[in-house]
Amino acid sequence: MKIRQLMREADSFVDKEVTIEGWIRNSRFSKNVGFIELNDGSTFKNLQVVVGKEIENYDELDKQNLSASLCVEGKFVATGNNKNPYEIQATKVIVLGESSEKFPIQKQRQTFEFMRTIPHLRPRTNTYRAVFRLRSILAFGLHKFFQERDFVYVNPPIITASDAEGAGEMFNVTTIDPNDPPRREDGKVDYNKDFFSKKAYMTVSGQLEAEDYALAFGNVYTFGPTFRAEVSNTPRHAAEFWMLEPEMAFADYNVCMDTAEAMIKYAIDYILENAKDEMEFFNQWIDKGLIERLTKLRNSEFARITYTKAIELLKESGEKFEFPVEWGMDLQTEHERYLSEKIVDGPVFVTDYPKDIKAFYMKRNDDGKTVAAFDMLVPGVGELIGGSQREERYDELVKSMIDNGLKPEEYQNYLDLRRFGTVVHSGFGLGFERAMMYVTGMKNIRDVIAYPRYVNAFANQK
């Protein structure tokens, strides 16, 4: 039986014989009694197993190392202790799989850096057990939010032929052997002979495909891996990360912001309800005040101010920033945090950014200077979500492509959406790991990705 089931229906099992299986997460043995904290992965918390000297293989059990796996038969009893209200008084314990003194996760606290060297074993620790169950629950909560609202889940391709966006930062996908590549007459590598008959890349975003589907289904979302060959070794960047990208037709950016706000609130409710033990763990050990902060956000009405107003307010504040504030600049994290923490004191959408610092597909406002973009800024982090209304006017989009140095003839499919029944539409992107860091308080993106990928990631592997 799973420990989760036992705890869920504890009343009906008290004083009954039960059988559980799990791994030793902790144990202490004295001459006559042993206490084993067993975990089968179904719950965050361990369940204590009391082993009396009368157990046949008491000495064998005493010798077991951390992470050994056991099958335990015994009586499930109420302890009267609030913190650990139940335990099992074992009548029979079988060692299923021994562990070893060399098991690298020992009782003394070990660093996250060390844990990153053993990605296959670290989910056996409290922190990572909490992180990766939360990741699962948060992912499902986000799916649930969109499915309940009839958004269609779309899977854009990972492999793409388009190198237009973010060119230099894309990974090439190939079956060409660079030691002996097929060559054209001019001596250059002949990608027409590559697997896909053209140079292929890993996607940096599913947005353009999401737009195709939004203009058929109305409301859609993507949720899957995206890639960036960025040579940045920071706690916030990874080469492989998950993005959630909703796209809504017949919706301007105000509707889109409403959706983003509702989604964040739903997600917070969902994890506080469905991952109580994990969230309490983060709150106690990783980021004190986390639950209060999330609850406050959840109960806030998200403010909305324009970029232009934000620049004014930042200037008026008199605050010294590392990057001086000028209209036309991209907001840095210091500005974003100051805005949401000091000026607004809560979550805030900053809207209508200068067109020159935003992407070509964003809808140009009538002022000729700004686009209908928005970022959601939250206290403690800065930007959590970025989105925009898309330029739905054919001529304006062509103009914007040219202004941005893109060739409209390479975007015929994208332009088709503006030729055949164009509509106002908007979307946003949530970096899933950024969201994970925000709701757990974990400070390094490598600790919320099961097997993080970044520059030189495989350097130390055989």
**How far apart are CB 271 and its own copies at their closest, in Å?**
13
C-beta closer to its own copies: residue 193 or 288: 193
Least spacing, CB of residue 140 vs its own copies, in Å: 5
* Residue 390 near residue 372, CB atoms below 8 Å: no
User: CB-wise, 89 or 125, nearer to its own copies?
Assistant: 125
CB contact at 8 A, 38 and 20: yes
Provide the minimum distance between the beta carbon of 353 and its own copies in the complex, in angstroms, as a whole number. 25
Shortest distance, position 220 Cβ to its own copies, whole Å: 8
Q: State the nearest-atom distance from the C-beta of 131 to its own copies, in Å.
A: 11
Residue 216 CB, nearest distance to its own copies (Å)? 4
Contact 373, 426 (CB under 8 A): no
Q: Are strands 69-78 and 17-29 parallel, antiparallel or unpaired?
A: antiparallel
Judge whether 392 and 413 are in contact, CB under 8 Å.
no
Nearest to 385 by CA among 203, 261, 253, 265: 261
| Distance in Å from the first CA to the final CA of the chain | 39
> In terms of C-beta distances under 8 Å and separation of at least 24 residues, what long-range contacts does 132-137 make, across chains too?
132/450, 133/44, 133/275, 133/278, 134/271, 134/275, 134/278, 134/279, 134/282, 134/436, 134/439, 134/440, 135/436, 135/448, 137/270, 137/271, 137/274, 137/275, 137/278
Which lies closer to its own copies via its Cβ, residue 176 or residue 381? 176
* In the complex, least distance from residue 248 CB atom to its own copies, rounded to whole angstroms: 10
Of 55 and 138, which has the nearer Cβ to its own copies?
Answer: 138
For 262, residues 6+ apart whose C-beta sits below 8 A from its C-beta are: 145
Instruction: Compute the least distance from the CB of residue 42 to its own copies, in Å.
Output: 5
> Alpha-carbon distance 462 to 346, whole Å?
48
Which residue number, 279 or 348, has a Cβ lying nearer to its own copies? 279
Q: Which residues contact 446 (CB under 8 A, 6 or more apart)?
A: 116, 235, 238, 452, 454
- Least distance in angstroms from the C-beta of 60 to its own copies: 15
CB of 431 to its own copies, least distance (A): 14
Retrieve residue 364's tokens: 């140009």
Distance CA 210, CA 171 (A): 21
Nearer to its own copies, 313 or 398 (CB): 398
Closest approach, Cβ 424 to its own copies, in A, equals 8
Nearer to its own copies, 169 or 312 (CB): 169
- Pairing between β-strand 17-29 and β-strand 152-154 as defined by DSSP bridges: unpaired
Q: Which is nearer to its own copies, 123 or 354 (CB)?
A: 123
d(CA 247, CA 274): 27
Residues whose CB falls within 8 Å of the CB of residue 184, separated by 6 or more in sequence, listed in order: 190, 192
d(CA 354, CA 458): 40
* Nearer of residues 320 and 419 to its own copies, judged by Cβ: 419
Residue whose C-alpha is closest to residue 335's, from 353, 358, 361: 353
Which residues does 419 contact at the CB level (< 8 Å), separation at least 6? Answer: 394
Q: Which is nearer to its own copies, 160 or 300 (CB)?
A: 160
> Of 219 and 283, which CB lies nearer to its own copies in the complex structure?
219
